[in-house]
């Protein structure tokens, strides 16, 4: 029996236009079909430049396809109003990036609070939830630290807390262990696995065989096309 799709790509192309006259075309995705079911833990692998980040951005409604359709819970994102898209990005999807992408002038606590400010969560509730999430990722003692006062692994744990604080349905991680040593990478992977265990659908782009092994399904992308996958 097929489960319920959280996000689905139907014949998706993404063509970036470059150059002064925008005549140079880069085909980042070339007709991708992909269905991610609720509760999945999917790994996306493939060489640099193969379209993995582009795929993740489309799944997270950060960008629109050039051709084809991206459906979020069955609804075509191209026909959604900007406010609806913003709401999905803020409440339904959590992002984790290779380079952490924390706001440099905000403390760990401030970074985790940020998505709740956009969501209109009152201050008391924000502080309570931000502290709860920081404790969950083992950073209770670091809430007043700025990103540059934290190690890479700690910054990535703040980013995971931030990604999860609005209780998203879908967690998208783009090479989340790419800048971390093996041991720290394992800690980050265990947090991501924990989120999946708690019911979050996870899609992770990775070169790391340990991350791919933790996933339930892995697929491979090359030159903008899905070229293979494994189950189990």
110 binds, among ligand ADP, Mg ion, none (CB under 5 to 8 A by kind): none
Contact yes or no for 166/94 (Cβ under 8 A): yes
Is 126 in a helix, a strand, or coil? Answer: helix
Pairing outcome for strands 67-72 and 75-76 = antiparallel
User: Could you tell me which stretch among 37-45, 48-56, 156-164, 224-232 binds Mg ion (CB under 5 A)?
Assistant: 48-56
Q: How far apart are CA 143 and CA 42, in angstroms?
A: 31
- The distance of Cα 146 from the centroid of its chain, to the nearest Å, equals 23
User: Could you tell me which stretch among 25-33, 47-55, 88-96, 120-128 binds Mg ion (CB under 5 A)?
Assistant: 47-55
Write down the least CB distance from residue 48 to ligand ADP, Å.
4
Q: How far apart are CA 3 and CA 230, in angstroms?
A: 18
49 near ligand ADP, rule: CB under 6 A:
yes
Residue among 53 and 156 whose Cβ is closer to ligand ADP: 53
Query: Kind and range of the H or E element at 114?
Result: helix 108-118
Residues 8-27 within binding reach of ligand ADP (CB under 6 A): 16, 18, 26
Chain residues that interact with ligand ADP, rule: CB under 6 A = 16, 18, 26, 28, 46, 48-54
Q: What is the binding site for Mg ion (CB under 5 A)?
A: 52-53
């Amino acid at each position: 029996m097929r489960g319920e799709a959280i996000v689905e790509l139907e014949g998706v192309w993404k063509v970036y236009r470059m150059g002064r006259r925008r005549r140079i075309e880069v085909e980042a995705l070339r007709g991708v079909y992909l269905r991610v079911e609720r509760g999945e833990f999917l790994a996306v692998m493939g060489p640099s430049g193969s379209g993995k980040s582009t795929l993740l951005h489309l799944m997270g409604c950060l960008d629109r396809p050039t051709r084809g359709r991206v459906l979020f819970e069955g609804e075509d994102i191209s026909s959604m109003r900007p406010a609806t898209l913003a709401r999905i990005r803020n409440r339904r999807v959590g992002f984790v990036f290779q380079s952490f992408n924390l706001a440099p002038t905000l403390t760990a606590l401030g970074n985790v609070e940020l998505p709740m400010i956009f969501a209109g969560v009152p201050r008391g509730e924000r502080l309570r939830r931000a502290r709860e999430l920081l404790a969950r990722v083992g950073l209770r003692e670091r809430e007043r630290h700025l990103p540059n006062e934290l190690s890479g692994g700690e910054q990535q744990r703040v980013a995971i807390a931030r990604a999860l604080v609005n209780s998203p349905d879908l967690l998208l991680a783009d090479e989340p262990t790419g800048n971390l040593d093996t041991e720290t990478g394992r800690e980050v992977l265990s947090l991501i696995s924990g989120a999946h265990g708690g019911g979050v659908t996870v899609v992770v782009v990775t070169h790391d065989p340990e991350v791919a092994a933790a996933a339930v399904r892995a697929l491979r992308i090359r030159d903008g096309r899905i070229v293979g996958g494994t189950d189990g």
